[in-house]
Structures are given as C-alpha cells and as structure tokens.
C-alpha cells in the first residue's frame, strides 16, 4: 500500500467581513498579511497535487490547516487547487487543523464542515469523526483534535471520546496495521516551550505506540517535517508544511509485517 501524506498549506487572505476584527480571525489575518504570505507558496501545493495525480497512490492524506483563519474564501481558494485530487478516484482523507477550526462564527464552522465533506469525497463528515476506515487491509483511525481556542493559543485536546475510540480500535484485530490520522502530533520534544501550541491528553496514546498496538501516526501542525520511527517504521511521521517547506512524504506499507518505509518528496 502506498500513501502520500501532505499538510498545512495555510491559504490566507484579507478579513472577509467586519466581524473578523472582533474575533480571533484578526490574529490569523494579521499573521498571514505580515508573515505567512511571505513563507507559504501555494504553487507548491499545486505541484503536490500534480505529483499525486501522476503517481496515483492507494491513498492521499492531508492532516489539516488548509487555511490561515478558517474563512470561507480561504477554504475556497485551497479547495480549488486540490480539486483535481478530490474529484479523482484516488481516495483522500482529511482532518481539520486548528487554523481550519479557528472561530465559532456560523459561516466559518459551516465552511470547515463543507471542506471535510468535499475532501473526504463523501466517505465521512465533520460530525462523524472519530471513525475507522479500512483501506487495503489497513485501519485508518481518523480524529479531529482541533477546536477554537483563545487569542494567544493554538493548542489541541485529545478528549475522552477520541481516547476511548483509539484505545478500543487498537485492541481489536492486532494483525491489521493501525494508522492514526491527526493534525496534532502525539509526541512533543519540548512540551513546556511549546505549551501554547501542543496537544494535551495523549498519554494513553503514547502507551499504545510504545506497545506497538498503534503502528503509525500521520500528523501536521509542525511545519518542519520529521520522522520519529523505529527500525520497522513504526512511530510518528509529520509531513511538515507543503507550502512553506515544499515537503510531503510517500509511505509504503507492508500490511503483513507492519513495516513502513518513507520517502521525502521535495517540491522545489
């Protein structure tokens, strides 16, 4: 089984209505206007889509942050770039990032729900996560750990529902490889330095990874790609930001041996 994993394109733009200056969106708009638009090049996302369409993997995975401030126009911009992929017969999995679930404004909530519906090609919806899908003999555990937070933080929380879902799924059918798809990493090298940006509540999931009941975590959020895996390829893979670092990862999975191999794809 071959998987192509990409993340964090962070399409952005100006404030789309005056209420954006009265909620957290102004932070995302300010960040994009003075920082992200100089670092995130969406032409790299175009090349990522072209690569996936040419190589035709068994599965493509996007681990969130399509947008910078969760605005409908930002989603529209990025979804149009990814359109050849989500309209193709290549299965696509997407879970939203913290920038996609930025605020509680109704039109922004509807925009991220629409993005999940489109990117998931009708296989699931925002409200049906967490869920398990089986592709080519591999169990994909798809969770959403993103929700609106305060102005200063971009943290996530792995609540009881997600924890119990993951634990239950990992206890069943041990012969089937288990891949967790999450925007936030489960591991954190500098938890206190990154306290405003980290995930909370993942202790039990780390135990499942250590005991090999959970084979692999695919995540984004951290813009510099990394691999934290053992000799069999079990562990955690962060794709980095496709638009900032021009990075994505091609993963080969041997379902019988639970072995994973990784190839970094440079888009520049």
Contact by Cβ (8 Å): 255, 1: yes
What is d(CA 134, CA 130) in angstroms, rounded to the nearest whole number? Answer: 14
What is d(CA 60, CA 267) in angstroms, rounded to the nearest whole number? Answer: 16
Q: Which residue has the tokens 């080519």?
A: 136
What is d(CA 59, CA 52) in angstroms, rounded to the nearest whole number? Answer: 9
pLDDT value for 184: 98
What is d(CA 159, CA 144) in angstroms, rounded to the nearest whole number? Answer: 10
Residues 101-137 as b/e (b if ≥16 CB within 10 A, e otherwise) read bbbebeebbebbebbbbbbbbeebebeebbeebeeee
Which pLDDT tens digits describe the chain residue by residue (268 residues)?
Answer: 999 999 999 999 999 999 999 999 999 999 999 999 999 999 999 999 999 999 999 999 999 999 999 999 999 999 999 999 999 999 999 999 999 999 999 999 999 999 999 999 999 999 999 999 999 999 999 999 999 999 989 999 999 999 999 999 999 999 999 999 999 999 999 988 899 999 999 999 999 999 999 999 999 999 999 999 999 999 999 999 999 999 999 999 999 999 999 999 999 9
pLDDT value for 89: 97
Domain around 95? 2-266
Tokens of 92: 């696509």
Tokens of 176: 């089937």
pTM, two decimals, is 0.98
Instruction: Give the pLDDT confidence of 117-128 residue by residue, as tens digits.
Output: 999 999 999 999
Alpha helices in 99-202 (DSSP H): 106-119, 160-171
Task: Calculate the dihedral angle through the C-alpha atoms of 122, 235, 205, 6, rounding to the nearest 10 degrees.
Answer: -30
Q: How far is CA 211 from CA 17, 31, 58, 137, 179, in A?
A: 49, 40, 27, 21, 14
Residues 153-182 as b/e (b if ≥16 CB within 10 A, e otherwise) read ebbbebbeebbebbeebbeeeeeebbbbbb
Alpha helices in the chain (DSSP H): 25-31, 37-39, 42-55, 72-86, 106-119, 160-171, 203-210
pLDDT value for 167: 98
pLDDT value for 11: 98
What CATH number does residue 153 fall under? 3.60.21.10
Q: Total domain count for the chain? A: 1
Tokens of 21: 């200056």
First-to-last alpha carbon distance for the chain, in angstroms, is 26
pLDDT value for 187: 97
């Amino acid at each position: 089984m071959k998987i192509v994993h990409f993340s964090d394109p962070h399409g952005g733009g100006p404030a789309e209505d005056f209420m954006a200056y009265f909620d957290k969106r102004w932070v995302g708009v300010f960040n994009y206007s003075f920082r992200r638009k100089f670092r995130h090049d969406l032409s790299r996302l175009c090349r990522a889509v072209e690569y996936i369409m040419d190589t035709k993997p068994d599965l493509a995975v996007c681990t969130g942050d399509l947008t910078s401030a969760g605005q409908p126009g930002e989603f529209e911009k990025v979804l149009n770039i990814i359109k050849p992929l989500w309209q193709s017969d290549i299965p696509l999995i997407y879970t939203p990032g913290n920038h996609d679930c930025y605020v509680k404004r109704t039109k922004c909530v509807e925009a991220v729900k629409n993005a999940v519906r489109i990117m998931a090609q009708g296989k699931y919806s925002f409200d049906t996560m967490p869920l398990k899908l089986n592709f080519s003999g591999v169990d994909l555990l798809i969770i959403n750990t993103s929700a609106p937070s305060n102005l200063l933080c971009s943290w996530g929380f792995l609540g009881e529902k997600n924890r119990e879902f993951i634990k239950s799924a990992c206890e069943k059918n041990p012969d089937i490889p288990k891949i967790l798809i999450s925007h936030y990493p489960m591991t954190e090298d500098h938890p206190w330095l990154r306290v405003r940006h980290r995930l909370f509540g993942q202790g039990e999931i780390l135990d499942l990874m250590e005991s090999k009941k959970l084979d692999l975590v695919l995540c984004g959020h951290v813009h510099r790609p990394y691999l934290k895996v053992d000799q069999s390829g079990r562990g955690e893979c962060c794709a980095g930001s496709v638009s900032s670092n021009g990075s994505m990862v091609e993963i080969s999975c041997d379902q019988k041996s639970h072995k994973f191999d990784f190839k970094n794809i440079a888009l520049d």
